[in-house]
Amino acid sequence: MAEQIQRKDAPVELTWNLGDLFATQADFDQAIKAAAAATAGLATAAKAFTADAAHFYDVVRRYFDAQARLDQLGLYAELAVAQDTTDAQAAQLAATFNKTQSDFDAKTSWFEPTIVAMPASQVEGFMTAEPRLAAFKHTLARIRTQVGHVLTPDEESLLATFGTTFDSAEDIESTLDDADLTYGDIDYAGTTQPLTKGLRRVIQQTADRKTREQASRQFAKAYYDHRYTFAATMQAHMHTQNTLARVRHYKSARDMDLSANQIPEAVYDTLLDQTHAHLDLLHRYYALRKRVLGLDTLHTWDLAIPLTGTKPPFAPTYAEAKATDLAALAPLGEDYQAHLKDEFAHRWVDVLETKGKTSGGFENVAYGVHPYILLNWTDTYDAMSTLAHESGHAMQSVYANESQPYWDHEYPIFTAEIASTTNESLLNAYMLDQTKGDHDKQVYLLTTAVEDFIGTVYRQAQFAEFEKYMYETEAAGTPLTADDLSAKFHEIEMTFYGPAVAANPWPEAYWAYIPHFYYNYYMYQYSTSKAIATTLAHRILTEGAPAVAAYKEFLRAGNSDTPVNILKRAGIDVTKPDYLEAAFATFKSQLEALEAELAK
């Protein structure tokens, strides 16, 4: 199923239903007009915004109502583009929305600065005079953490007019990567076919060594050949974020991005320190892989092939994966199961890899409408795990949207990967239990558990280290050239690989393959989330109902408190290194279990 098809040829039941957002183009157009009218109404509210408590409440409510409508418009346009990045009509939808959102941002740019500028006594007085403002207590407090970083209304208005310009580097990179880049043809499974990202993943797990090397070589060449364009977009993005940080009086872009979720910068540094302190375990795994595969030289194209030397023992269809994920997530209770069945039955998921479709997988949602999931399906365990992962995001959205008002529903980025990786852990534990006594399947699943940890803790920490280098280098006034980026990425990568893995025998620009570098200090949270999720999944499986109840309270919390406080209530203190040390201890036990199984 890795071969791309035209979108019109995809079975309807394997596509998402955008009609649940807007049934027709006319409905979308009407909603755009309504959003514009709401913006116009809010634009006139600035002068009297803080005149009295009743008016203040009315404007706050209208502001968030307008944002909720814009979210639905933005999601519709985003999904239309994602399903086919070459679709001109979808591009026009996105342009229409971007203009509408930019207009809203510009004409309501006074909203947060005014709240930040209000004396604390005035805010407290309004809260007392207007009881309905109690619903906005946490949101108003969150806005007021920006004291010292919000500019004057005129300056904020000027910045807002550059909204789409600030995102242009990411947009250009995405178009180049998803629509323009090609990887050539490759001979696989008896046919010559176009190499795609999805097919490459399949080849790395199933093909002979020569084909794996060829796929890796072609893939690397595509990015290396376009390294100067990718470097230009990366430089532009880093410069934009560093400039915004300076304009808003933050110490750095990292300070700005972590402050948005009230995360201490020490959390980032502790992750990097703890990861480097445990690199010996990572090197031990690569040495094990080299030994078990009987290779004189271990290359990167040998890192995904099963350690048993056979093809992967799992090849689930999408239908089989849905059934397995349901069974694996049964410990989370009947209500969780009901939501999953709704997801599978009512076209929340766009399944197949089709021409022009955005690569990878994601979940997104707008308040008041069910979540949407994008996949690029292949019949692999990895795809089944991705479905569980994205469904974890979807279920967190469902629970938070049920429990929180719009302004507190969107869980912060720092907690966004916990539910997804908890699902991955539960799936792996279920499959290990179901396949006891089957050596090949046990080895495959233990390898998957180990490599999931590597991919979401070690690998993302590696990327976080490189991301920190890029921001700090650009902030110091040194241009980010393609050659320098490649050299630094290679240096960090080989430190993580250790002595067992050989460098690739061709020039590379692998850093260009990682779109998450445009997400503004996002990737470190994969690592912290995996460490947290490891503990939560263990509690769910060993403690039962009390742990499930606590976990669902976490899912319901949304953005109703700071991430640090929400996680403390779930028993995780991210301000200390303990949770990371426990996670690496779990990784060590999984590695030892794999070593023992391989020794049989």
Kindly report, residue by residue over 146-187, the tens digit of the pLDDT.
888 888 878 888 888 887 788 899 999 999 998 899 999 999
Q: What per-residue confidence (pLDDT) applies to 499? A: 97
- Whether the per-residue pLDDT at 310 is higher than 80: the answer is no
Using one digit for the tens of pLDDT, what is the confidence trace for 518-574? Answer: 999 999 999 999 999 998 998 899 999 999 999 999 999 999 999 999 999 988 899
- DSSP string of 233-297, one letter each residue: HHHHHHHHHHHHHHHTT-SSHHHHHHHTTT--HHHHHHHHHHHHHTHHHHHHHHHHHHHHHT-SS
Cβ count within 10 A of residue 78? 20
Average pLDDT over residues 369-382: 95
pLDDT reported for residue 1: 41
Confidence of residue 3 (pLDDT cuts 50, 70, 90): low
Per-residue pLDDT for 389 more than 90? yes
Residue that has been written with the tokens 């402050």 in this structure: 259
Collapsed DSSP state (helix, strand, coil) of residue 563: helix
Catalytic residue check, 390 = yes
Catalytic residue among 173, 390, 451, 508: 390
56-90 pLDDT, tens digit each: 999 999 999 999 999 999 999 999 999 999 999 99
More confident residue, 458 or 305: 458
Q: Taking every pair of C-alpha atoms in the chain, what is the biggest distance, in angstroms?
A: 77
For the cut 60, the answer to whether the pLDDT of residue 2 exceeds it is no
Asked if residues 420 and 393 have their Cβ atoms less than 8 Å apart, the reply is yes
Q: Which residue has the higher pLDDT, 198 or 80?
A: 80
Of 20-24, 32-36, 152-156, 233-237, least confident by mean pLDDT is: 152-156
In angstroms, the CA 6 to CA 12 distance is: 13
Cα–Cα distance between 170 and 233 in angstroms, integer?
7
> Which amino acid makes up residue 160?
A
Which two three-digit tokens encode residue 71?
């979210």
Q: What is the mean pLDDT of residues 12-27?
A: 96
E strand or H helix at 206: helix 197-206
At residue 151, the pLDDT reads: 84
pTM over 0.85: no
Give me 249's structure tokens: 């009086």
The angle subtended at Cα 203 by Cα 199 and Cα 207, nearest 5°, is 150
Compute the C-alpha angle 581/443/308, nearest 5°: 130
The span from the CA of 343 to the CA of 59, in Å, is 35
Of 289 and 311, the structure prediction assigns the larger pLDDT to 289
Return all residues near 385 (Cβ < 8 A) that are at least 6 apart. Answer: 424, 427, 428, 448, 452
Mean pLDDT of 40-45: 96
The mean of the pLDDT values for the chain is: 94
- Sorted by where each begins, the domain ranges of the chain are 7-166
Residue pair 325/331 in contact by the 8 Å Cβ criterion: no
Overall average pLDDT of the 250-259 stretch: 95
Distance CA 27, CA 44 (A): 26
SS3 364: strand
Q: Does domain 7-166 have CATH number 1.20.140.70?
A: yes
* pLDDT, average across residues 11-32: 97
For residue range 421-461, list pLDDT tens digits in order: 999 999 999 999 999 999 999 999 999 899 989 999 999 99
Least confident of 37-51, 65-79, 362-376, 572-586: 572-586
**What is the reported pLDDT for 205?**
86
Structure tokens at 429: 């534990």
Which residue bears the tokens 């349901």?
326
